[in-house]
């Protein structure tokens, strides 16, 4: 049976704090000759407990992409349902140490678990002893002795249009991964063809507006300008948010391909224009602003 160095959590953001924890998991696993793993939950516990409008920073696929990029070997996806949510701290511990054969568990120093979050680190260490396992904790990461980096803070920063600070706390640019979908092809008539992504409804998106971006296609990065929002000038439905990117130096057909678009700098809020000519003129200015960012 596979033995693990295991960490446990929602891992919604994989920010710098998570990255420090995951680095320790990976390093300790290599040192001990064990496999590294993270236990994650589906659906997000907030959604299970009734906040059905909650949208995680990253989709499950995006989260897994980030987790594996740390060098982690295994992702243990656990169904977060009534049965799991009501596990006592002792039964939760048995699942970790007996069912998943964790020999070392690494979590944050304030980690809580089990029904009503009744279990704490001291309890987890006692349970680990009975299974001849160990528990280590890591301190939260913060900048300049400020509040610890957290997913909730990053969500707030993105909602308040503080992209640069959100990206700093993430340790990487906020991004959207999606499949390029055929749109109305209006961009072609405006001389600014775009690739269109329609993120799933459960994906958190930052403030609607125009951003300087880089899009990764088959491992290569291409600079561009991206609009996130409802396209009020050309779409009266006002119901489906899209991510539309004009790439500066790419003209190939990308329909049905998976791409990753990274948001680097906010340029302006989304707005409605009185005509397509006004929209075209503004897109030209937006593209110029984005190009200046990359100079």
Tokens at 225, concatenated: 């300008």
Instruction: Provide the whole-model pTM.
Output: 0.90
In the predicted model, what is the mean pLDDT of residues 204-232?
92
Q: Which among 117, 138, 159 is the end of a domain?
A: 138
Backbone angles phi, psi at 165, to 5 degrees: -70, -35
Both 19 and 118 in one domain: the answer is yes
The catalytic position among 82, 244, 262, 278 is: 244
Is residue 287 in a domain? yes
Is residue 160 in a domain? no
Q: What is the pLDDT of residues 160-193, one digit of tens each?
A: 999 999 999 999 999 999 999 876 666 556 668 8
Report how far apart, in Å, the C-alpha atoms of 137 and of each of 9, 114, 117 are. Answer: 13, 18, 17
Q: Is the pLDDT of residue 280 over 90?
A: no
Both 18 and 102 in one domain: the answer is yes
Domain that residue 257 falls in: 173-293
Q: Is the pLDDT of residue 237 over 90?
A: no
Report residue 33's pLDDT band, with 50, 70 and 90 as the boundaries.
very high
Both 102 and 188 in one domain: the answer is no
Residue 172: which H helix or E strand, with range? none
Report residue 200's pLDDT band, with 50, 70 and 90 as the boundaries.
confident
Query: In 3-state terms, the chain is what percent helix, strand and coil (to 5)?
Result: 35, 25, 40
Domain count, the chain: 2
The count of residues in the chain is: 295
Average pLDDT for the chain:
91
SS3 276: helix
Looking at residue 184, what is its pLDDT?
A: 63
Both 32 and 133 in one domain: the answer is yes
Q: Is 127 designated active site?
A: no
In the predicted model, what is the mean pLDDT of residues 245-263?
90
Q: Is the pLDDT of residue 275 over 90?
A: no
Looking at residue 233, what is its pLDDT?
A: 62
Both 133 and 180 in one domain: the answer is no
Alpha-carbon gap, residue 97 to 132, rounded angstroms: 9
SS3 145: coil
CATH code (residue 112): 3.40.50.620
Is residue 278 in a domain? yes
Alpha-carbon gap, residue 21 to 9, rounded angstroms: 11
In the predicted model, what is the mean pLDDT of residues 282-289?
92
SS3 258: strand
Q: What is the pLDDT of residues 67-114, one digit of tens each?
A: 999 999 999 999 999 999 999 999 999 999 999 999 999 999 999 999
Q: What is the pLDDT of residues 40-71, one digit of tens each?
A: 999 999 999 988 889 999 999 999 999 999 99
């Amino acid at each position: 049976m596979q033995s693990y160095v295991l960490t446990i959590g929602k891992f919604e953001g994989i920010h710098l704090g998570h990255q420090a924890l995951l680095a320790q998991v990976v390093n300790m696993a290599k040192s001990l000759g064990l496999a590294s793993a993270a236990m994650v939950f589906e659906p997000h516990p907030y959604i299970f407990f009734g906040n059905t409008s909650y949208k995680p920073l990253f989709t499950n696929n995006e989260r897994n992409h980030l987790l594996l990029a740390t060098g982690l070997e295994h992702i243990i996806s656990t169904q977060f349902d009534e049965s799991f949510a009501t596990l006592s701290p002792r039964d939760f511990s048995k699942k970790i140490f007996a069912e998943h054969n964790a020999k070392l568990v690494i979590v944050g120093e304030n980690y809580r678990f089990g029904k009503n979050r009744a279990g704490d680190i001291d309890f987890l260490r006692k349970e680990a002893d009975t299974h001849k396992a160990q528990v280590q904790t890591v301190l939260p990461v913060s900048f300049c002795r400020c509040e610890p980096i957290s997913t909730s803070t990053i969500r707030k920063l993105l909602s308040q249009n503080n992209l640069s600070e959100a990206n700093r706390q993430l340790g990487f640019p906020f991004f959207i991964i999606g499949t390029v979908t055929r749109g109305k092809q209006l961009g072609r008539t405006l001389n600014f063809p775009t690739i269109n992504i329609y993120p799933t409804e459960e994906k958190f998106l930052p403030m609607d507006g125009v951003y300087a971006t880089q899009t990764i296609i088959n491992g290569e990065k291409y600079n561009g300008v991206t609009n996130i929002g409802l396209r009020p000038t050309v779409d009266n439905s006002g119901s489906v948010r899209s991510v539309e990117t004009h790439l500066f130096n790419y003209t190939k057909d990308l329909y049905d391909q998976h791409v990753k678009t990274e948001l680097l700098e906010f340029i302006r809020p989304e707005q409605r224009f009185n005509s397509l000519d006004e929209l075209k003129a503004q897109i030209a200015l937006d593209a110029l602003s984005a190009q200046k960012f990359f100079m």
